[in-house]
Structure 1
Amino acid sequence: MIAHRLSTIAQSDHIVFLDEGRVLEQGTPSELLAKTDGHYRRFVELQTAT
Protein backbone atom coordinates (compact mmCIF):
# COMPACT_ATOMS: atom_id res chain seq x y z
CA MET A 1 0.00 0.00 0.00
CA ILE A 2 1.19 3.51 -0.75
CA ALA A 3 -0.33 6.24 1.40
CA HIS A 4 0.17 9.86 2.34
CA ARG A 5 -2.15 10.05 5.35
CA LEU A 6 -1.19 9.00 8.84
CA SER A 7 -4.61 7.49 9.51
CA THR A 8 -4.06 5.09 6.61
CA ILE A 9 -0.66 3.79 7.71
CA ALA A 10 -0.70 4.07 11.51
CA GLN A 11 -2.02 0.51 11.99
CA SER A 12 0.44 -1.10 9.57
CA ASP A 13 2.77 -3.89 10.66
CA HIS A 14 5.73 -2.46 8.75
CA ILE A 15 6.34 0.98 7.24
CA VAL A 16 8.80 1.93 4.52
CA PHE A 17 9.25 5.71 4.50
CA LEU A 18 10.23 6.98 1.04
CA ASP A 19 11.34 10.29 -0.43
CA GLU A 20 11.58 10.61 -4.21
CA GLY A 21 11.81 6.83 -4.51
CA ARG A 22 14.58 6.46 -1.93
CA VAL A 23 14.06 4.46 1.26
CA LEU A 24 14.81 6.79 4.17
CA GLU A 25 13.85 4.40 6.96
CA GLN A 26 11.74 1.35 7.65
CA GLY A 27 10.37 -0.57 10.61
CA THR A 28 7.31 -0.95 12.78
CA PRO A 29 5.43 2.22 13.73
CA SER A 30 6.78 1.89 17.29
CA GLU A 31 10.37 1.53 16.11
CA LEU A 32 10.09 4.53 13.83
CA LEU A 33 8.43 6.71 16.48
CA ALA A 34 11.28 5.88 18.87
CA LYS A 35 13.80 7.58 16.55
CA THR A 36 13.96 11.13 17.89
CA ASP A 37 15.36 12.48 14.62
CA GLY A 38 13.42 10.14 12.33
CA HIS A 39 11.53 11.11 9.20
CA TYR A 40 8.41 9.13 10.16
CA ARG A 41 8.34 10.70 13.61
CA ARG A 42 8.58 14.18 12.10
CA PHE A 43 5.75 13.25 9.69
CA VAL A 44 3.58 12.10 12.62
CA GLU A 45 4.34 15.27 14.58
CA LEU A 46 3.37 17.46 11.62
CA GLN A 47 0.18 15.49 10.98
CA THR A 48 -0.94 15.68 14.62
CA ALA A 49 0.04 19.31 15.31
CA THR A 50 -2.83 21.56 16.34
Structure 2
Amino acid sequence: MPDWPGCYGKLTVPSSKVDVEVANTLYPERAVEPYKAWLEMIHAILQAA
Protein backbone atom coordinates (compact mmCIF):
# COMPACT_ATOMS: atom_id res chain seq x y z
CA MET A 1 0.00 0.00 0.00
CA PRO A 2 1.70 3.15 -1.16
CA ASP A 3 -0.22 5.65 0.98
CA TRP A 4 -0.68 4.38 4.57
CA PRO A 5 -2.90 4.91 6.54
CA GLY A 6 -5.08 4.53 3.48
CA CYS A 7 -4.76 1.88 0.84
CA TYR A 8 -4.51 3.24 -2.69
CA GLY A 9 -6.60 6.24 -1.68
CA LYS A 10 -9.27 4.17 0.13
CA LEU A 11 -9.86 3.17 3.74
CA THR A 12 -9.72 -0.51 2.77
CA VAL A 13 -8.19 -2.47 -0.10
CA PRO A 14 -9.83 -1.54 -3.42
CA SER A 15 -11.97 -4.42 -4.60
CA SER A 16 -14.35 -3.24 -7.31
CA LYS A 17 -13.07 -3.25 -10.87
CA VAL A 18 -13.38 0.53 -11.10
CA ASP A 19 -11.55 1.13 -7.80
CA VAL A 20 -8.72 -1.21 -8.81
CA GLU A 21 -8.36 0.53 -12.20
CA VAL A 22 -8.24 3.96 -10.51
CA ALA A 23 -5.66 2.75 -7.98
CA ASN A 24 -3.51 1.23 -10.71
CA THR A 25 -3.65 4.51 -12.63
CA LEU A 26 -2.75 6.62 -9.57
CA TYR A 27 0.01 4.25 -8.40
CA PRO A 28 1.39 2.52 -11.53
CA GLU A 29 4.54 1.44 -9.67
CA ARG A 30 2.45 -0.52 -7.11
CA ALA A 31 -0.24 -2.53 -8.85
CA VAL A 32 -3.13 -3.64 -6.63
CA GLU A 33 -2.69 -7.19 -5.39
CA PRO A 34 -5.61 -7.61 -2.95
CA TYR A 35 -4.17 -10.54 -0.96
CA LYS A 36 -0.84 -8.77 -0.40
CA ALA A 37 -2.53 -5.44 0.30
CA TRP A 38 -4.72 -7.01 3.02
CA LEU A 39 -1.66 -8.61 4.62
CA GLU A 40 0.15 -5.26 4.59
CA MET A 41 -2.84 -3.44 6.03
CA ILE A 42 -3.31 -5.96 8.86
CA HIS A 43 0.41 -5.86 9.63
CA ALA A 44 0.45 -2.04 9.75
CA ILE A 45 -2.62 -1.91 12.02
CA LEU A 46 -1.06 -4.43 14.42
CA GLN A 47 2.18 -2.46 14.52
CA ALA A 48 0.32 0.77 15.23
CA ALA A 49 -1.58 -0.80 18.13
Query: Under TM normalisation by the shorter chain, which class is it?
Result: 0.3 to 0.5
Structure with the larger RCO, 1 or 2 (CA within 8 Å, 6+ apart): 2
| TM-score, normalising length: structure 1 | 0.34
Structure number with the higher helix fraction is 2
| TM-score, normalising length: structure 2 | 0.34
Structure number with the higher strand fraction is 1
